[in-house]
Amino acid sequence: MRVESENSVTDSEVKKIESSIAQLEAVDNIQSYKLFKRNQNFLKRMHCRSQVASFITHLRRTFTKYGFDAKGFSLADESVTTDISVASTETEKAYQKILKFLEEYPR
């Protein structure tokens, strides 16, 4: 009988806790947070994708500054790719442009 009595008390406590959880989950802020947590990875991916246009603009400006020629950009598997060519000019060799970029561009 003692085990049955303890089980009954435990069941009662579990029901109280479940009821408290249900009441908390009904609160709008908690529902919002739960929805956010469930979709957090998706939201992070969408945030990164929203930055792609700014990133490409930055790359174009940087490539122009160092005399690189970028041929198109593509986004696949969360990565931006492009083809770059560097040509020598009368005043600067291609390898000098690359060295200048590597020395000056922040890491």
Let me know if residue 43 belongs to a domain: no
Per-residue pLDDT at 68:
92
Same domain membership, residue 57 and residue 33 = no
pLDDT less than 70: residues of the chain: 1-3
Contact indicator for 59, 70 with CB cutoff of 8 Å: yes
Residue 103 one-letter amino acid: E
Number of domains in the chain: 2
Per-residue pLDDT at 14:
87
CA–CA separation, 86 and 96 (whole Å)? 10
Its domain, for residue 66, covers: 52-104
Let me know if residue 22 belongs to a domain: yes
pTM (predicted TM-score): 0.52
Let me know if residue 71 belongs to a domain: yes
Largest CA distance in the chain: 99
Choose among 63, 106, 104, 107: nearest CA to 87.
63
Element (H, E) at 41: helix 40-50
Per-residue pLDDT at 79:
82
